[in-house]
């Protein structure tokens, strides 16, 4: 287990001197000595630096790939999106949604088109060009930034850039953003995330 969790070099050290990431890996290593078929992890990446968090994600993914069922609680929705096969969203102690990450994301609708143009004086022209290309109302975020729902596809960005260019509108940025689990949680609850339970 020390080899598996990259702790062999620290085998003779006192645990009190371990970093947060090393302690989390040691916790999981100790849990696996009995070769459990189900492993419960309560916010295993809280307080870890980005590198340690990514390392812990690799450990959890490998456990699941080897056949261990992992029940994971987390407040990090990016973590749930990457690791979970099934998600149960809990708000104030009540289950408010469950499903795969893609099923939950589909509840918030399709993709969003975000466009930034170079000059504010082209705002009305840009609106006229974008409106027929979108599936809903184009929201003006400021004089040079627009956002609207759109059906995502491989040709969306080139089509938008070409249409704006043909209309004489200089484009700074075009992004198609698909819904995230953060968007899902906000849509379901109207506030930022609390703890979610995730089974992978």
The β-bridge partners of 199 are 71, 86
pLDDT at 125: 95
Closest CA to 78 of 55, 103, 101, 96: 101
| Average pLDDT, rounded, for the chain | 87
- For tokens 């409106």, what's the residue? 131
User: What pLDDT score does 61 carry?
Assistant: 93
What are the strands of the beta sheet with 171-177, ordered from one edge? 139-142, 145-150, 111-117, 171-177
Torsional class of 122: left (φ above 0), alpha (ψ -120 to 50), beta (otherwise) = alpha
pLDDT for the residue numbered 191: 62
Residue 197, pLDDT above cutoff 70 = no
Task: Give CA separation, 99 vs 70, 87, 102, 171, 182, in Å.
Answer: 16, 5, 8, 38, 15
For each of the domains in the chain, give its residue range(s) and CATH number, in order of start. Answer: 8-105+193-199 (3.40.50.300), 111-177 (3.30.70.1150)
Please write the tens of the pLDDT for every residue from 141-164.
888 999 988 877 778 889 999 999
Q: How far apart are CA 23 and CA 14, in angstroms?
A: 11
Query: Each residue of 26-47: pLDDT tens digit?
Result: 888 898 888 899 999 999 888 8
CA distance 161 to 164: 5
What integer pLDDT is reported at residue 51 of this predicted model? 83
Task: Give residue 99's pLDDT band: very low, low, confident or very high (50, 70, 90).
Answer: very high
Q: How many whole angstroms separate alpha carbon 24 and alpha carbon 158? A: 45
91 touches 194 (CB < 8 A): yes
pLDDT classification of 195: cutoffs 50, 70, 90: very low
Q: Are strands 86-91 and 196-199 parallel, antiparallel or unpaired?
A: antiparallel
Q: Identify the top-confidence range among 11-15, 162-166, 175-179.
A: 162-166
Residue 22 pLDDT more than 90? no
Phi, psi (rounded to 5 degrees) for 185: -65, -45
């Amino acid at each position: 287990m020390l080899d598996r969790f990259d702790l062999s070099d620290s085998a003779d050290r006192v645990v009190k001197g371990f970093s947060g990431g090393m302690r989390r890996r040691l916790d999981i290593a100790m849990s696996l000595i009995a070769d459990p078929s189900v492993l419960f992890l309560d916010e295993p990446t809280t307080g870890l630096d980005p590198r340690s968090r990514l390392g812990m994600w690799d450990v959890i993914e490998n456990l699941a790939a080897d056949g261990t069922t992992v029940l994971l609680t987390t407040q990090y929705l990016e973590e749930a999106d990457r690791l979970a096969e099934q998600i149960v969203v809990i708000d104030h102690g009540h289950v408010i949604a469950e499903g795969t990450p893609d099923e939950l994301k589909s509840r918030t609708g399709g993709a969003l088109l975000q466009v930034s143009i170079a000059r504010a004086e082209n705002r009305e022209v840009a609106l006229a060009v974008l409106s027929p290309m979108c599936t809903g109302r184009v929201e003006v975020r400021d004089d040079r930034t627009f956002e609207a729902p759109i059906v995502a596809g491989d040709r969306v960005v080139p089509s938008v850039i070409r249409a704006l260019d043909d209309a004489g509108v200089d484009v700074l940025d075009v992004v198609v953003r698909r819904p995230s689990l953060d968007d899902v949680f906000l849509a379901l609850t109207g506030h930022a995330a609390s703890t979610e339970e995730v089974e992978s």
